[in-house]
């Protein structure tokens, strides 16, 4: 490889592992300096290419995934529903219900743990006061199939987050309660059968079936949550 060939190859692929390319660099001081210059330029170029990535890009990708799946379900053909229903019935007849009860309880337990863990992982959200959150809460609910028809409570924060349980996007809202901030999470998945209270040492909460998922309402132990749950049930209309 001569100097001209080397420089051409260097401008094509400065990181080339070609033996002749590496050998020429080791033998020719001028070409080694040229390669260093190209390498420096590539490094600077990489820095220049690294434009800031939006903080919530990953969350938005997950949200689009959920919305895309929802739209796909809506255009499913009737015969596909019939086929799915017959398969389900066959499985049910073979005694699957017992397992369903077991897995349903397990699912609820996991959900309770996951929502409390999520609140504890985002303590900064409890102190945020963003005046534009009321409108954003309505927009986020709409993305998940809910329409806000009545005010629930003063909304201090509304964001899309991902639950560690399955990394699926959730709506994370914080409102002002009687004794302090109350977190409301909307998590898509199997709705629970009825409103289910839960608590740990730090928080008390309620799981509320809503649309194609559940609302988890979580506050401090002495926070009266039932009035807020009532408002949520009356103030959001879900498109199923």
Partner 1 sequence: MSQRKESGADPVKEDMSKSRQDKFEILIQGLSADLYRYAYWMCRNRVQAEELVQETYLRAWKGIDSLRDADSAKSWLFTIFRREFARQFERRRLDVQEMDDLGELPARQAAHDTSTEAFVLRRALAELPEDYREPLLQQVLGGFSCDEIADTLGISASAVMTRLFRARKQMRDLIGDDARQIKGVAT
Residues that bind partner 1 (CB under 8 A): 8, 11-15, 38-39, 41-54, 57-58, 60-62, 64-65, 68-69, 72, 166-168
CA–CA gap between residue 134 and residue 155 (Å, rounded): 5
Pick from 149, 161, 176, 164: nearest CA to 234: 149
**Distance of closest approach, residue 74 Cβ to partner 1, in angstroms:** 15
Location of structure tokens 């409102």:
175
Residue number, 14 or 177, with CB nearest to partner 1: 14
Residue number, 48 or 101, with CB nearest to partner 1: 48
Q: CA of 102: how far to CAs of 109, 141, 156, 160, in Å?
A: 11, 31, 38, 31
* Contact of 186 with 131, CB cutoff 8 Å: no
CA–CA gap between residue 226 and residue 6 (Å, rounded): 76
Pick from 229, 125, 109: nearest CA to 170: 125
Q: How many Cβ atoms sit within 10 Å of the Cβ of residue 103?
A: 12
**Distance of closest approach, residue 110 Cβ to partner 1, in angstroms:** 15
Residue number, 62 or 156, with CB nearest to partner 1: 62
**Distance of closest approach, residue 15 Cβ to partner 1, in angstroms:** 4
CA–CA gap between residue 164 and residue 115 (Å, rounded): 9
**Distance of closest approach, residue 158 Cβ to partner 1, in angstroms:** 19
Residue number, 64 or 239, with CB nearest to partner 1: 64
Residue number, 46 or 240, with CB nearest to partner 1: 46
* Contact of 240 with 223, CB cutoff 8 Å: no
**Distance of closest approach, residue 96 Cβ to partner 1, in angstroms:** 21
**Distance of closest approach, residue 119 Cβ to partner 1, in angstroms:** 22
Residue number, 38 or 195, with CB nearest to partner 1: 38
**Distance of closest approach, residue 89 Cβ to partner 1, in angstroms:** 26
Pick from 227, 126, 129, 116: nearest CA to 181: 126
Residue number, 53 or 101, with CB nearest to partner 1: 53
Location of structure tokens 């290419």:
49
């Amino acid at each position: 490889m001569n100097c001209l060939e080397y420089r051409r190859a260097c401008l094509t692929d400065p990181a080339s592992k070609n033996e002749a390319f590496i050998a020429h660099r080791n033998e020719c001081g001028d070409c080694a300096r040229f390669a260093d210059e190209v390498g420096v330029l590539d490094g600077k170029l990489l820095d220049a290419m690294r434009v800031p990535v939006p903080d919530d890009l990953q969350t938005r990708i997950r949200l689009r995934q959920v919305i895309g799946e929802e739209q796909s379900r809506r255009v499913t053909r009737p015969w596909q529903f019939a086929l799915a229903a017959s398969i389900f019935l066959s499985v049910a007849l073979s005694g699957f219900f017992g397992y369903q009860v077991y897995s349903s309880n397990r699912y609820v337990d996991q959900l309770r743990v996951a929502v409390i863990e999520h609140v504890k992982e985002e303590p900064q959200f409890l102190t945020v006061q963003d005046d534009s959150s009321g409108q954003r809460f309505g927009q986020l609910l709409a993305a998940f199939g809910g329409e806000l028809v009545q005010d629930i409570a003063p909304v201090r924060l509304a964001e899309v987050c991902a639950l560690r349980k399955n990394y699926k996007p959730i709506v994370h809202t914080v409102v002002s309660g009687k004794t302090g901030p109350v977190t409301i999470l909307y998590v898509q998945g199997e709705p629970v059968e009825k409103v289910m209270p839960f608590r740990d040492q730090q928080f008390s909460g309620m799981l509320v079936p809503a649309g194609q998922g559940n609302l988890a309402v979580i506050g401090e132990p002495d926070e009266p949550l039932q009035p807020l749950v009532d408002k949520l049930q009356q103030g959001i209309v879900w498109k199923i």
